[in-house]
Amino acid sequence: MIDTEALRTQPELTGETVVLTQLDESYFETSWKALQEPETTRLTGTHTKFTEEQVRRYLAARPGLDDRADYAILGKEDRAHLGDVVLSEIDADNRSGSFRIALNGPEFFGKGYGTEATKLLLGYAFDVVGLHRVSLEVFDYNPRAQRAYEKAGFLREGLQRQALRWEGEWHDVITMAILKNDPRP
Ligand SMILES: CC(C)(COP(=O)(O)OP(=O)(O)OC[C@H]1O[C@@H](n2cnc3c(N)ncnc32)[C@H](O)[C@@H]1OP(=O)(O)O)[C@@H](O)C(=O)NCCC(=O)NCCS
């Protein structure tokens, strides 16, 4: 059994430098700005161009869902919005889910926020929600993300050859996953 109530209520998760809190429409301005950031768009392989209205509606619909968890990553001291981390595609029968994360811009990269947010989300996924497996996809040209995921305990499982086309070039997509009882450094 997984704890769908824990998904619906999304408790705040506190780390050393970041706090994860329910993502909602109050984060529109920073979310909208992040979507215009070309480096983040490239690293997440986001082809879709969203309208302001779509983003507002998407954010407003996040609270209360019981089949996923959308968290805003905030600075612990100032509660500035640094990015988002999401547990989605939850399969209750197989107790599995998908992971994704993006900080809001390059000024936030490489400071440990991503690794810490990943570890907090995994603690919640395994120890609170009760999942058995969390998986993700990362592009071959994103070694920073691969390293952050390894530091949180994800293991590389496979390679989807040329599964991404970005600006006219084919790229491989790496699959990584972590199981409940794998080491979580
Ligand atoms: C991916 C992301 C969440 C990682 O979070 P972060 O806070 O930047 O990463 P951290 O600072 O926690 O850790 C980065 C690690 O990668 C390493 N790293 C950085 N650039 C690297 C490179 N080119 N090659 C190898 N390792 C690299 C850092 O040295 C650090 O490892 P270390 O602590 O062993 O030195 C963040 O960079 C991000 O949001 N990027 C844009 C969106 C994105 O890529 N999302 C993921 C899509 S799958």
- So what's the pLDDT on residue 28? 98
Asked, for residue 127, whether it belongs to a domain, the answer is yes
Domain count, the chain: 1
| Side chain identity at residue 78, one-letter code | D
- So what's the pLDDT on residue 124? 98
In the structure, which protein residues have their CB atom closer than 6 angstroms to any atom of ligand 1? Answer: 40, 43-44, 83, 101-103, 109-115, 138, 142-145, 147-148
- So what's the pLDDT on residue 7? 98
Q: From the CA of 24, how far away is ligand 1's center (Å)?
A: 25
Angle (CA) 7-13-14 rounded to 5° is 180
Contact 122, 153 (CB under 8 A): yes
Residue 36's domain is classified under what CATH number?
A: 3.40.630.30
Q: From the CA of 109, how far away is ligand 1's center (Å)?
A: 6
Domain that holds residue 117: 4-132
Asked, for residue 20, whether it belongs to a domain, the answer is yes
Q: Mean pLDDT in runs of 10 for the chain (185 residues)?
A: 97 98 98 95 93 98 98 98 98 98 97 98 98 98 98 98 96 98 96
Asked, for residue 175, whether it belongs to a domain, the answer is no
Whole-angstrom distance, CA of residue 146 vs CA of residue 61: 30
Asked, for residue 163, whether it belongs to a domain, the answer is no
Q: From the CA of 31, how far away is ligand 1's center (Å)?
A: 20
Residues 6+ away with beta carbon under 8 Å from 22 = 10, 12, 62, 63, 70, 71, 72
